[in-house]
Structure 1
């Protein structure tokens, strides 16, 4: 199948080049027009004279639906057909037919666009970047600052301070700063000195009795963790795998991001070790060390981290250990002073903690790693540990990590930082850019939320019909009942339309023109927010499930959360070419609703079946149902699928999700309706064009290449072969078609 995808590459090159001159950028625009009129799917449709029954996206509620320009859908449809390669016969290679002439515009490729999803993300970036740069001048003029809403003021100030910091250039005047590194380092070294005395910062430092490695190292690690720094171990706040409604602590080995070439790499190499040493050396030079001493310290720090790395088993093992109380863990490892460690970490919420919190606070800990760490620290000098922790603190705030990047890369980094720390503010700005002023944006989002909740309800009802009809549960009524409970409990987490929420930066926190000081404040705020979730669990026994998601506009995807049994839809994907109320239903169901249904199916794949309706890892499917499910899913391991064992869950979610979307679309047209040829063709074309372009990476990828993915999915549909009149010998019409949940 992969060879089929490639065999027309050179024959279509000329058409691709011709297309570049008139790529229609409207596919990336989602502004709401105000003129009247609609055009049905019959515009530019072929081989049918029937009129589609439905001509608008599903709607409900009291929110006013936005009006649609008469030319909006025809322009979108024209863009879609511009991507089609008419030279390719769809029954031979549907991906090449649908995407043969797709190419992201240059300005989007420069921002990382390599396929449809990343092109939309790049366009979101471009819109936000233009806004932020435009508003910099408004922020400088104190007399016009009142014209900026608080979310805009906060976002622009953060962004401008970041650009000023990483580019060494004043965002307003364009003049280079000569002392920016000194100012940045002073911000962090002042904070470090408030915590303790450090050998690197004090040439006259001497070890004292209280600075023994274990006690002092535990204290310093805890103080740094209040700023989000993960040093000797990672301390995370996440759901209890046994009771997902509880937020608890997890302790595991460090990620070793600086030592390894990539986070997913199993080992470090000589190149990554050299780069790490060079980075530490330059940090020390900036702190005023002589070259030879800086080189020696860099070698010491990296060698110590290599010793930490050796404490972790080489095999990639994921073990679900039993949660235990802080008191129990501290008694098991008394040398690590874990009671004192957590007393420092939770200092900001100490007055609200119950007196017996150590007997109630739950922790899932990698005890074997902690034991090895304890033994290593017993033989480590306090001075070396302090040097290592200081480097981890500076690296956590990415000091000097972006010096060699281009100006655009540095600005993109600042936008990503803004997206990471202030997604609610950036979402608010993005909504206004997409849908007009605050009132228009709020009205559009209210209408969109109603429509999306309707679609999600329809998907769940259709999948319930499939669960009732399939033979997977024919001899296991209990597992079927549990599957139904999980489906009914599954939630859709949408972006929050409110201008103020707990996700917004509190008014008590004021950002300045010092980016490094801003980062210190924001990391403390983030840590405090995480601790409040743990506190809620301690006081009430559970943490209230989120009503909305807190993703920002640079997240262009959808996510199924196993431990929440919920699907999160970020604001970044709620736009053309995926979703817009003025798009035709076949387009919406073939692309956007398919993405939603794909995520729903992850709740019922080989990972999902191990989690119940509340997100607890219980593995409560019966053996008979598992065997039947395995038998029917074996089709997805056939020779049609590259690396089927690795991509199995995604292959299942792709085909079963698109089938669920198609059946839901069919029922939305009418109880016993038959979709027209045009509707089916537009549906499958919309699906295929969701994956135009190339994957970002082929290593450690759980998905097949886009071309293989598209062709394998449509090959599983009789509706596709009928609509495109594919013969029995056509590559897109194999004799066997995979299906798990379809009616028998």
Structure 2
């Protein structure tokens, strides 16, 4: 980021992950925030910004949300990055050393490593294209070379394990700290970007002399709004002083306004009004609803319903007694701490109440589909009307729900019996009535109260947050220790007001020719893909021509939305998102409601094609199929992914792979179902579809053989079906990036843009390109988070994003002279794009 209503997909992007539909494998698709990920059918994590679009479509990102920290919400994801814009030191331990000692250490490294590297390359029989050109000796080249070399492990044969060869040094030197669930290249940049925002919003407002007086006034208002949210969040004295009172007051109102009955029969009308109220504040209960682009008519918006309502990351967790006990304990502790102040009753058996809530969720889990069955947009697009949805799920008064969410005073012209509704999982809603008929009023009310607590506990005092620690740690949503408060608060601030804060990020890091240079990289990769299409023999003529048309129609957005630099327009857009100093809980409720209401208002608006689903500081990227656009926020267009000062073979290996990944998403198993205008339509011939499916099966089989260790140390296989789209994007992205770099190299000035790095004697530039690609994915992940992603994230684990793509690459095997039959050059290879 990714990351709306806690429903299943967080604003369209949040649903699918970025960089590709998500290049990154930040977290599972149901992860907190990170770049807007479109969360498909899963329960959104607590504390995330309102999920706005729960369509059958998802945004394809490079990775899912970066959930390195303790709470899903701080991923608010903008997938922000690491530290302030200071000189990059490739040796962290040198930060306190005098400058001459730093340079002495770098020089020693650059002398020693090439000798070791050359010996290993010779030993393993690997040869590069030797060059007589003098290496680049600028400050930036030396620092970059040192960083790359230090990350490597020269004791490993690159033809046996290229990930360990490229990342072994980094992995060894970066154990996971107690306040994180993962560390990696993306996380490092996220923290850097967050620190840039920290510097901005912990400082007094600085007038902008480049703005006209009126714009300057609005700019100050925007700054104050962001700063008030951030400072109210870091004011822990105020938050601790309020204790549990903010959430107690909220729950009292829920109980008063929506009594669900005292007998054994659930009142459907009262229940659905209580659910509607919960959805208005992002508490995911029963199901999800939001407004988003109509997949088959992308010029218009439509109401979408999706399965939701679970606290655990996915339905599979409800089959494990250990997780059920942990969830039950968390609910019982939370109830015993809060509910006596809400509905005083000293005779309550809290564990019994908790078991009732878990039973509700367990029943919902039974009728939910697993993530692997939510990857086909055609199957997720099911058109209904209010009458036909009533017939499908008769217990719920759907007209009452929609009237509660879309009041007639604003929506009388669009909400009626002929209004089209998209239901992503009809079987879930078909079974919902029978499920609800067996639930008591008390269990339903407690279930709803629990979702308020689960969603808002992290915005209250430590005494309440601590009650959920074990649950979040065991499900990979939280690290052992709390991260620094500033990091948590800036993650949340960027999640809710990142578009407003974007100006103060962009002006600090994204100036000069950055946008122009990045645009050139994107264009070369698009050209490489178009040139590849005529050479694909399984595509017939008709489908090939349509694919070329789609690639040529691709829209690219780079850096930030225009509105980010328009203070008056921003102030008007966010005018009703009220934020006050020292009222943190109220602020979170306010901006949450604002985001949700803004999404609902889209039903009476035309599709906004200028909208971005990620904030400027987000470290991610995405492809949006209904817009046929690829989007790269300024946050990811930073070192080590991209730098104008770096040789282009490094940039193409890193950001070029990201671009290629996102572009390939337009033609993967999901993206290929949308045409050049963003319509979900069958534009492939039957013969070509059969050929695609046959080749896709090769990838499913390949990735299903890879495993990761769960918290018990047992190997668990990757779901090759769930990860198919992202795996295709990884494979296509790496190859297109190499082809595009070679095109760039042949263009005027290509040699000057590709100086040889110092310290890489014996390596060719192509070999360093692949090292740059692999080092994007250097990282360590806790088993709890790894398991959660395995079940919910469409991205493969980092190691296999490298290994899986390169074992299929003929070019890689040639560049590293890997013998046929070696681990990195198997005889059987999978290829589509």
**Which TM-score band (shorter chain)?**
0.7 to 0.9
Matched residues in 2 for 1:283 and 1:266: separation?
25
Aligned to 1:510: 578
Tell whether the 8 Å contact from 1:99 to 1:689 is kept in structure 2 after alignment.
Answer: yes
Query: Quick one: structure 1 residues 189 and 159, their matched pair in 2 at CA, closer, same or farther if it must change by over 3 Å?
Result: same
**Counterparts in 2 of 1:419 and 1:356: CA distance versus 1, 3 Å:** closer
Q: Which runs of 5+ in 1 are unaligned?
A: 1-17, 26-41, 56-68, 139-144, 200-205, 436-440, 538-542
How many angstroms apart in 1 are the aligned matches of 2:402 and 2:495? 26
> Tell me, what secondary structure is at the counterpart of 1:185?
helix
- Which residue of the other structure, out of 754, 765, 769, is the alignment partner of 1:679? 765
Q: Which residue of 2 aligns with 1:142?
A: none
Q: Tell me, in whole angstroms, the C-alpha distance in 2 between the residues paired with 1:48 and 1:576.
A: 26
Report how many residues are paired: 648
Which digits, 9 at most, give the CA deviation of each residue in 1:324-360, with x for residues without a partner? Answer: 223543576666332232122112x733542774423
Q: Deviations over 1:2-27 (max 9, x none)?
A: xxxxxxxxxxxxxxxx97644899xx
Check whether the contact 1:226–1:345 (CA below 8 A) recurs between aligned residues: yes
- Sort the Cα spacing of 1:363 and 1:481 in 2 relative to 1 into closer, same or farther, 3 A: same
**Deviation of 1:452 (Å):** 2.7
Q: 1:557: which partner in 2?
A: 620
Report the CA distance between 1:108 and its aligned residue: 7.6
What SS class does the counterpart of residue 507 from structure 1 fall into? coil
Cα distance change of structure 1 residues 632 and 374 upon mapping to structure 2, 3 Å threshold? closer
Q: 1:113 touches 1:122 (CA, 8 Å); kept in 2?
A: no
Residue pair 1:111, 1:122 contacting (<8 A) in 2 also:
no
- Report if the CA contact (8 A) 1:311-1:369 is conserved: no
Output aligned runs, 1:343-354, within 5 Å: 343-347=403-407, 350-351=409-410, 353-354=412-413
Q: Which residue does the alignment assign to 2:729?
A: 653
Secondary structure (helix, strand or coil) at the match of 2:640 reads coil
Q: Deviations over 1:140-164 (max 9, x none)?
A: xxxxx99994443222221222233
Deviations 1:302-337 (A, max 9, x none): 166247526625777545353122354357666633
2:285 touches 2:451 (CA, 8 Å); kept in 1?
yes
Q: CA deviation at 1:361?
A: 4.4
Go from structure 1 to structure 2 and tell me whether the alpha carbon gap of 1:622 and 1:198 turns closer, same or farther (over 3 Å shift). same
Q: Distance in 2 between matches of 1:341 and 1:228?
A: 15
TM-superposed CA distance for 1:525, in Å, is 0.8
- Matched with 1:697 is 786
Structure 1 CA distance, aligned partners of 2:684 and 2:219? 54
For residue 659 of structure 1, report the CA deviation from its aligned partner: 1.4
1:641-670 CA deviation, whole Å, 9 max, x = no partner? Answer: 635844544443223221111111111222
Q: 2-side partners of 1:288 and 1:411: how far apart?
A: 35
1:256 aligns with 2:310: yes
Kindly state the Cα deviation for residue 627 of structure 1 after the two structures are TM-superposed: 3.6
1:471 is aligned, of 512, 522, 537, to 537
Distance 1:645 1:288, change over 3 A: closer
State the match for 1:33 in structure 2.
Answer: none
Given that 2:331 and 2:450 are in contact with CA atoms closer than 8 Å, whether structure 1 keeps it comes out as no
Cα shift readout 1:515-540 (whole Å, capped 9, x = no counterpart):
22112211221122111211125xxx
Aligned 8 A contact 2:252 2:342 in 1: no
State yes or no: 1:273 paired with 2:328: yes
Asked whether the 8 Å contact 2:392–2:430 carries over to 1, the reply is no
Which residue does the alignment assign to 1:157?
228
CA contact (8 A) 1:151 1:429 kept: no
Find the residue that maps to 1:694 and give its secondary structure. strand
In the alignment, which of 735, 738, 745 is matched to residue 662 of structure 1? 738
2:802 corresponds to which of 710, 727, 735: 710
The change in CA–CA distance for 1:263 and 1:523 in structure 2 (over 3 A counts) is farther
TM-score, normalization by structure 2: 0.67
Match of 2:130 among 40, 47, 53: 47
Q: CA deviation at 1:132?
A: 4.7
Shift in alpha-carbon separation, 1:655–1:262, aligned structure 2, 3 A: closer
**Structure 2: how far apart are the matches of 1:185 and 1:230?**
18
1:274 deviation in Å? 2.6
Distance 1:386 1:198 in 2: 8
Question: Where does residue 466 of structure 2 map in the other structure?
Answer: 403
Cα deviation, residue 242, structure 1: 3.0
- Offset of residue 585 of structure 1: 0.8
Deviations 1:280-311 (A, max 9, x none): 23220343634432627734751662475266
For 1:160-559, list aligned pairs within 5 A: 160-164=231-235, 167=236, 169-170=237-238, 177=241, 179-186=242-249, 188-189=250-251, 192=254, 196=257, 198=259, 213-257=267-311, 260=312, 265=317, 267=319, 269-287=324-342, 289-293=344-348, 295=350, 298-299=353-354, 301-302=356-357, 305-306=360-361, 308-309=363-364, 312=367, 317-318=373-374, 319-320=379-380, 322-330=382-390, 336-347=396-407, 350-351=409-410, 353-354=412-413, 357-364=416-423, 369-370=428-429, 372-375=431-434, 385-398=444-457, 402-403=465-466, 406-408=481-483, 411-432=486-507, 434-435=508-509, 441=510, 443-444=511-512, 447-473=513-539, 476-494=540-558, 495-496=560-561, 498-500=564-566, 506-512=574-580, 513-536=582-605, 543-551=607-615, 553=617, 555-559=618-622
Matched, 1:576 2:668: no
Aligned in 2, Cα 1:261/1:595: closer, same or farther, shift over 3 Å? closer
Residues 157 and 372 from structure 1, CA distance in 2 versus in 1: closer, same or farther, beyond 3 angstroms? same
Distance 1:693 1:388 in 2: 37
Mark the CA change 1:464 to 1:596 in structure 2 (over 3 Å): closer, same or farther.
same
Q: Considering only aligned residues, what root-mean-square deviation do their CA atoms show, in Å?
A: 4.3
Distance 1:619 1:670 in 2: 38
SS in 2 for 1:293: coil
1:480-501 CA-to-partner distances (Å, cap 9, x unmatched) read 2222232223322332253347
Alignment of 1:713-728 (within 5 A): 713-717=805-809, 719-726=811-818
Distance 1:225 1:704 in 2: 31
The 8 Å contact of residues 612 and 618 in structure 1, kept in 2 or not, is answered as: yes
Q: Is the 8 A contact 1:281 1:295 kept in 2?
A: yes
SS in 1 for 2:400: helix
Instruction: Give the Cα separation in 1 of the matches to 2:258 and 2:370.
Output: 39
Spell out, residue by residue over 1:91-116, the C-alpha distance to the aligned partner (whole angstroms, 9 max, x if none).
Answer: 44433332222156679885555222
Distance change (3 Å), C-alpha of 1:356 and 1:226: closer
CA deviation string 1:170-228 (max 9, x = no partner)? 48xxxx62x43225533x257548x82658xxxxxx979xx981222223333333333
**Residue range with higher mean Cα deviation, 596-605 or 450-459:** 450-459
**Conservation of the 8 A alpha-carbon contact between 1:135 and 1:156:** no
Q: Give distance in 2, aligned partners of 1:332 and 1:652.
A: 36
Q: For the structure 1 residues 708 and 509, does the alpha-carbon distance in structure 2 shift closer, same or farther, using more than 3 Å as the test?
A: closer
Structure 1 pair 76/110, CA: closer, same or farther in 2 (3 Å)?
A: farther
8 Å CA contact 1:638–1:644 kept in 2: the answer is no
Q: 1:350 to 1:99 in 2, by over 3 A?
A: same
Q: 1:466, CA displacement in angstroms?
A: 1.0
Q: Is the 8 A contact 1:496 1:549 kept in 2?
A: no
Distance in 1 (alpha carbons) for counterparts of 2:831 and 2:653? 18
The alpha carbon displacement at 1:687 in A equals: 1.0
Q: Is the 8 A contact 1:278 1:298 kept in 2?
A: no
- For residues 55-97 of structure 1, the C-alpha deviation after alignment (integer angstroms, 9 at most, x for no partner) is 9xxxxxxxxxxxxx95223322222122233344434443333
Kindly indicate whether the alpha-carbon contact (under 8 Å) linking 2:259 and 2:270 is maintained by their aligned counterparts in 1: no
Q: Is the 8 A contact 1:636 1:644 kept in 2?
A: no
